[in-house]
Amino acid sequence: MSDITKQSLSELVENIKSKKLSSSEVTKAFVERSEKSKELNAYITEDYANAVNKAKKFDEKPNLDLKLPGIPMAVKDLFCTKDLRTTAGSKILNNFVPTYESTVTQNIWNEGAILMGKLNCDEFAMGSSNETSFFGNVQNPIDKNLVPGGSSGGSSSAVAAQLTPITIGTDTGGSIRQPASFTGTVGLKPTYGSCSRYGIVAFASSLDQAGPMAQNVKDCALLQEVISTYDDKDSTSIDFKRNEYSKELTKDIKGKKVGIPKEYRVDGMPKEIEDLWKKGIEYAKDCGAEIIDISLPHTNYALPTYYIVAPAEASSNLARYDGVKYGFRAKGENLIDMYEKTRSEGFGAEVQRRIMIGTYVLSSGYYDAYYLKAQKVRKLIKNDFDEAFKKVDAILTPSTPSSAFKIGEKKDDPVSMYLNDIFTVPVNLAGLPGLSIPAGHDAKGYPLGLQIIGKAFDEQNILNISYAMEEKINFKNKINDWWIK
């Protein structure tokens, strides 16, 4: 069968289940394409030989009742994988080999999928362009020298370029949805507590969530169904009734109330984004949804709140990297000197910047003025959503304020880089599910995404709305394999 890598996850699952394709054929096809795509720099660690062996073993005794039978998959290098190097995109973890498996990846392997390798990402998931990775920039398959978004940039690049049929990323302030938007793919950030954080390298614990990234909504629903489980190894995992999202997926969204928040019409937003949003509203109406104007008055305060809360939590989480028990160690004259040099040489500039912001806002005399203040504003932001969801079932916004930008374009201006996440950050602060679907192209032909935000634990509803809209939008990604010689 030709063009295996062009098939969606759902097609591959069906073809393996009906024995039209073997796991070996599928795995080899994705491995071959990954090998030809080194220029994208999507992988940090390749595990191809093992993947091909596992596929062979699967084919010898195939269990076709599984949800991901013999499906090869590469995952973001923020998930701990037992016996396979896990770097979080950082020099400080360059040689770290976990002795345990993250719950989310374990769930995936339990359903029959096969690990192909670990995908590039911004260092400790701190970035919006994949430029903070110790392992170098990732190319967006859409165009040369274009960022794939971040922090799950290797993931978005790999899915868009069809190096893996599907993948997982993590999203602390937009790290799944923004790269999905930049690459013309679908990305879901689930409700906080839906997917276990056990075994995911921690960035900001009250915001981090793992989620699926896919070529279409149906594939996204299937992977969400696999990765979302209650886990007693994560104290903030929530025990709620989880749907079989892919089975319950429907395009019937007639009468669903979709809110349009006026505060998302930000100053200086390009006309292309405004037009895309208007088109999105028309698509939603065409699908039978009812459009309702709403207000989220504290939207403008979300980014400043995020840039206190996330660095504060990061500074605490990253205190563990001291060069003692694992990871990189620099030579020092004494213990303190060793710590300081290890962290100075082991972390990149953006991570150091955020640790220092976090340390400052938590330091004596500043805690109330910054951290406590931010927690209070976070409450106001959550209240805004609670009020809005009394009137609507979902909220429709653009995913990002622009399309993908060139590598290097925003690297030296942290604040302009942070503004990328203006539409995605409020969702993390409120712990809600949000999904980005590709919805059009800008004048340069680069993809643009729309975000659908749901009530807590209502992933099914936003998947359904996206599924219905996806059909109307009929998006086609423009990728010409420029990196393959």
Partner 1 sequence: MSIDLKTIKHISKLSRISVDEKKAEKLVGDLNSIFDFIEKLNELKTDNVEPLTSVAETTLKLRADEVKSKNLREQVIKNSPKENEDYFVVPKVIE
Min dist CB 329 to partner 1, Å, is 4
Q: Closest distance between partner 1 and the C-beta of residue 332, in Å?
A: 6
| Shortest spacing between CB 15 and partner 1, in angstroms | 38
**Smallest gap, in angstroms, from Cβ of residue 137 to partner 1?**
21
Q: What is the end-to-end Cα distance of the chain in Å, rounded?
A: 23
Identified binder of partner 1 from the candidate list 97, 247, 282, 288, rule CB under 8 A:
97
Q: Does 270 bind partner 1 (CB under 8 A)?
A: no
Total of residues contacting partner 1 (CB under 8 A):
69
Q: Which of 175, 246, 399, 402 is catalytic?
A: 175
Q: Known catalytic residue: 175?
A: yes
Identity of the residue numbered 331: K
Contacting residue, 1, 64, 356, 484, with partner 1 by CB under 8 A: 356
Distance CA 171, CA 158 (A): 17
Interface characters, 194-223, with partner 1 (x: CB under 8 A): ------------x-----------------
What is the 8-class DSSP label of residue 219? H
Site for partner 1 in 416-445 (CB under 8 A): 418, 429-431
Q: Which of 380, 378, 377, 425 is nearest to 400 (CA)?
A: 425
Question: Binding residue for partner 1 (CB under 8 A) from 339, 389, 423, 475?
Answer: 339
- Nearer CB in complex with partner 1: 272/458: 458
Q: Does 266 bind partner 1 (CB under 8 A)?
A: no
Q: How far is the CB of 259 from partner 1 (least distance, A)?
A: 19
Q: Does 338 bind partner 1 (CB under 8 A)?
A: yes
Contact 308, 374 (CB under 8 A): yes
In the complex with partner 1, which residue's Cβ is closer, 57 or 341?
341
Out of 29, 121, 377, 395, name the contact with partner 1 by CB under 8 A.
377
Tell me how far, at minimum, the Cβ of 236 lies from partner 1, in Å: 5
Q: Does the active-site annotation cover 76?
A: yes
Residues contacting 435, CB < 8 A, separation 6+: 177, 186, 187, 188, 189, 217, 220, 451, 452, 454, 462, 463, 466
Q: Name the nearest CA neighbour of 283 among 420, 399, 438, 476.
A: 438
Q: Which residues contact 46 (CB under 8 A, 6 or more apart)?
A: 34, 116, 117
∠ CA(296), CA(298), CA(299), 5° rounding? 70
Q: Which residue from 153, 193, 261, 433 is in contact with partner 1, where contact means CB under 8 A?
A: 193
**Identified catalytic residue from 54, 76, 410, 455:** 76
Please say which residue, 384 or 470, places its beta carbon nearer to partner 1: 384
Residue 132 binding partner 1, by CB under 8 A? no
Give, to the nearest 10 degrees, the angle between helix 349-362 and helix 302-317: 100
**Closer of 55 and 308 to partner 1 (Cβ):** 308
Which of 47-55, 163-171, 269-277, 300-308 is the region at the interface with partner 1 (rule: CB under 8 A)? 300-308
**Among 149, 173, 327, 440, contact with partner 1 (rule: CB under 8 A):** 327
In the chain, the amino acid numbered 13 is V
Backbone angles phi, psi at 240, to 5 degrees: -125, 165
The minimum distance between CB 147 and partner 1, in angstroms, equals 20
- Cα–Cα distances (Å) from 442 to 152, 409, 430, in that order, read 22, 18, 30
Give the nearer residue to partner 1 in terms of CB position, either 242 or 472: 242
Residue 264 binding partner 1, by CB under 8 A: no
Q: Is 228 a catalytic residue?
A: no
**What SS3 class is residue 385?**
helix
Rounded to whole angstroms, the Cα distance separating 350 from 123 reads: 8
Closest CA to 97 of 134, 170, 160, 45: 45
Q: Which is nearer to partner 1, 8 or 375 (CB)?
A: 375
Q: From residue 224 to residue 243, what is the string marking binding to partner 1 with x (rule CB under 8 A)?
A: --------x--xx-x-----
Alpha helices in 111-233 (DSSP H): 153-160, 177-183, 217-227
Distance of CA 221 to the CA centre of its chain: 14
- Answer for the pair 387, 380: CB distance below 8 angstroms, yes or no: no
Q: Where are the beta strands (DSSP E) in 332-412?
A: 394-398
Q: Which of residues 173-192 bind partner 1 (CB under 8 A)?
A: 192
DSSP-assigned letter for residue 420: G
- Is 401 a residue that touches partner 1 (CB under 8 A)? no
Cβ proximity of 315 and 347 under 8 Å: no
Give the footprint of partner 1 on this chain (CB under 8 A).
95-97, 99-100, 192-193, 206, 232, 235-236, 238, 298, 300-301, 303-305, 307-308, 315, 319, 322-329, 332-341, 343-344, 347, 352-353, 355-357, 359-360, 363, 370, 372-380, 382, 414-415, 418, 429-431, 456
Q: Which residues are catalytic?
A: 76, 151, 175
